[in-house]
Amino acid sequence: MLSAILFLAILFLSLLIFFVPGKVKYFFTLALIVIGIVVTTLWSSELIAGDGQEVERTLLSAGSGSILVLTIDRLSALFVLVINITVLTGFLYARGYLARYLQTKSSLSFSIHYFSYLWLWLSMLMVVMVRDGLSFLIVWEIMALSSFFLVIFQAEERTILKTGINYLIQMHVGMFFIMTGFLLVGRDTGIMSFNALTEYFSSNPNFPLFLLFFIGFAIKAGFIPLHTWLPEAHPSAPSHVSGVMSGVMIKMGIYGIVRVLMAMQSDLLLTGTVILAVSLFTGVMGIMMAIVQHDLKRLLAYSSIENIGIIGTGIGLGMIGLGLDNPVLAVLGFAGGLLHVLNHSLFKSLLFFNAGSVYLATHTRNMEELGGVMKRMPYTALLFLTGSLAICGMPPFNGFISEYFIYMGLFRSLAGATLTHSIVIVASVVGLSLIGGLAIFCFTKAFGIVFLGEPRSQKAVNISEMGRTMILPQLLTVLLIMIIGLGSPLVVRPMFEMVAQSFGVTMPTMETGSFMSNLSQISIIGGLFVLMLTLLLVYRRLHLKRRQVEAGPTWGCGYTAATPRMQYTATSFAYNYNHIAKPLLQNLKIMDEIREDDLFPSRRTFESHSDDLFRRYLIDRPVDWVSGLLKKIAVMQTGRIQQYILYAFLFMLLVLLLSFLKII
């Protein structure tokens, strides 16, 4: 009971942020976050220690009914873990990141920032713990609002404000779908709640309602083509916020989808196939668009879309497994997808934080102006490299483990699959391996161009490493990445138990045992790999000590006396790829060609941008069309009162006529 009061206290104490003096503001917020983490972790551990069913906490009750009830099951516990880790590391990192704004920003805007950050965290926690529909919608809305305020931290830049508003509008479109879903459930069962979904699904067709919820949650999660807010909002936000939004907040969409799926009883196969198709498309397109970006944070944002695709693939396969009564596919699919939620939150926040450090040092996110950052910021570079390797699914990092889960689900169910089933499986295998290959292309580019070689502009020359307060919190993330990567057998049982509780499927005990032994062999090879590498590197050092080692310029041809601007750039690295991907991605080229009769051509400029086709055709075009139409209608707005009276008169006449004709 004490813990519930404590949690409630945090909600109210958060208001004090506005009144605490400037210097302690940060630490006050940090203290609230730490207390909250302790409380929620206690609840989750109670779940594991107890009968493992559910833990319930009533925060507010009025009269006979309770208003705010928090319920934690294993699924919520996973998401609580994900939220807490990234929010904590993000806030620790934020101290150094925000330090440079101390001079330019008022105390009030810091208060608003901290307050929003705190409430983003609280609302996400409540999103995963609240079951009642109305409360859910309220905390969902708080989540959208608080993240909106975080995104527009630098609102003095007009583009950022515009992005923020775009984000807010899209979130509300999504909210509308979710609300409609809840209303349908409420109309049918009398209760607007996730708990009533089971009842609704047992007597109604499952797929239509699922689709409503799916669209609503998919906007948050960033499934293509509903992703257009994501690559705009993430780069605009300060890096610790981008890390939290990309690592955690978009996963709330995944949470919602999974919560709905848990209640479904029929149309499982159809649902699974739809999720799978959308996810594979999202994964491939997301990473394909990521490759052509020049803006480091935009690249990371698109790669988040790709990872949402991988998560969705796992979940879709899980549903197909349920539909086909194939427990192995179901368990491995769900477990892989949900483990990837945790994994992605770790490495993506790591990548965003370090992209933020690069931005702080160089004041640019444009990769074409960077280069050679590793020599000047070695720790940041190593952290970014760790994140890159993990996100590409390289052993022995954690990304490999979740992809291994999903691949195993696929390969294990191949034998004895029906025709359509095996086509689905092979399509997924092709999709996943293609995503893997593309991710390697994307992150060799991101890491290689930004951190290696020579600086491509002055901006990247006089820079220095970030302070310890920004590096150290990230080591926690790296530690977790390595624990999951090298100690993967540890995560199997909790993940499987969570899937068992949520979806009621279990793998046969023997299978679980053999799966764990597979993973332990992978861990052994991972350990061996690290060991052998260390030995070889030590030997190499000793070997080179006995030889003559010189330093010289990079091999001459093509590099002598040139400026570092002649290095391969991000665009040139992706040139070949661009050539192949042209049908799917369109590059905008802005230039005026030199005509033949133009004897003395004047100064010209050339620009090329990667364009998001989905945004152009699904958002920009329709919006332009509608606003064009509205402009035409605006002719009626003359400002003369006589005409307005005429409109009113005409309207009344119309109503009269219609009612006379018995139409209304």
Give the C-alpha separation, 320 to 276, whole Å: 9
- Which of 1, 62, 557, 630 forms a contact with another protein (CB under 8 A)? 557
8 A C-beta contact, residue 351 and residue 329: no
- Which of 165, 533, 646, 652 forms a contact with another protein (CB under 8 A)? 533
Sign of CA dihedral 96, 101, 106, 109: negative
Q: Of residues 379-408, which lie at the interface with another protein (CB under 8 A)? A: 385, 389, 392-395, 400, 403-404, 407-408
Question: At its nearest, how many Å lie between another protein and the CB of residue 566?
Answer: 6
> Is 308 one of the binding residues for another protein (CB under 8 A)?
no
> Is 145 one of the binding residues for another protein (CB under 8 A)?
no
> Is 528 one of the binding residues for another protein (CB under 8 A)?
yes
Nearer to another protein by Cβ, of 181 and 396: the residue is 396
Give the C-alpha separation, 440 to 290, whole Å: 11
- Which of 90, 312, 453, 473 forms a contact with another protein (CB under 8 A)? 453
8 A C-beta contact, residue 348 and residue 387: yes
Nearer to another protein by Cβ, of 458 and 602: the residue is 458
> Is 567 one of the binding residues for another protein (CB under 8 A)?
yes
CA 267 to chain centre: 28
Nearer to another protein by Cβ, of 224 and 522: the residue is 522
Length in residues, the chain: 664
Query: How large is the greatest C-alpha to C-alpha distance in the chain, in angstroms?
Result: 105
> Is 525 one of the binding residues for another protein (CB under 8 A)?
yes
- Which of 454, 465, 497, 611 forms a contact with another protein (CB under 8 A)? 454
Q: What angle do CA 496, 340, 263 make, to 5 degrees?
A: 55
Q: Of residues 331-390, which lie at the interface with another protein (CB under 8 A)? A: 371-372, 374-375, 378, 385, 389
Within 10 Å of residue 594's Cβ, how many Cβ atoms?
Answer: 10
Question: At its nearest, how many Å lie between another protein and the CB of residue 521?
Answer: 4
The H or E element containing residue 245 is none
Nearer to another protein by Cβ, of 105 and 412: the residue is 412
Q: What angle do CA 279, 283, 286 make, to 5 degrees?
A: 125
Nearer to another protein by Cβ, of 525 and 655: the residue is 525
> Is 551 one of the binding residues for another protein (CB under 8 A)?
yes
Question: At its nearest, how many Å lie between another protein and the CB of residue 524?
Answer: 7
Question: At its nearest, how many Å lie between another protein and the CB of residue 339?
Answer: 15
- Per CB under 8 A, the segment of 204-212, 297-305, 577-585, 608-616 that binds another protein is 577-585
> Is 568 one of the binding residues for another protein (CB under 8 A)?
yes
Q: Of residues 17-76, which lie at the interface with another protein (CB under 8 A)? A: none
Q: Of residues 197-226, which lie at the interface with another protein (CB under 8 A)? A: none
> Is 548 one of the binding residues for another protein (CB under 8 A)?
yes
- Which of 34, 414, 656, 658 forms a contact with another protein (CB under 8 A)? 414
Question: How is residue 239 written in tokens?
Answer: 């890096």
Return the amino acid letter for 302: Y
8 A C-beta contact, residue 551 and residue 442: no
Give the C-alpha separation, 325 to 505, whole Å: 9
> Is 445 one of the binding residues for another protein (CB under 8 A)?
yes
Question: At its nearest, how many Å lie between another protein and the CB of residue 268?
Answer: 22
Residues contacting another protein: total by CB under 8 A: 88
Nearer to another protein by Cβ, of 133 and 371: the residue is 371
Please give the span between the terminal C-alpha atoms of the chain, in angstroms, as a whole number: 57
Burial class (CB in 10 A: 0-12, 13-18, 19+), 281: middle
> Is 517 one of the binding residues for another protein (CB under 8 A)?
yes
Give the C-alpha separation, 75 to 497, whole Å: 10
Nearer to another protein by Cβ, of 259 and 445: the residue is 445
* Backbone phi and psi for residue 163, each to the nearest 5 degrees, phi listed first: -60, -45
Q: What angle do CA 91, 93, 95 make, to 5 degrees?
A: 80
- Which of 13, 137, 417, 476 forms a contact with another protein (CB under 8 A)? 417
8 A C-beta contact, residue 449 and residue 370: yes
8 A C-beta contact, residue 368 and residue 529: no
8 A C-beta contact, residue 287 and residue 306: yes
> Is 429 one of the binding residues for another protein (CB under 8 A)?
yes
Question: At its nearest, how many Å lie between another protein and the CB of residue 112?
Answer: 41
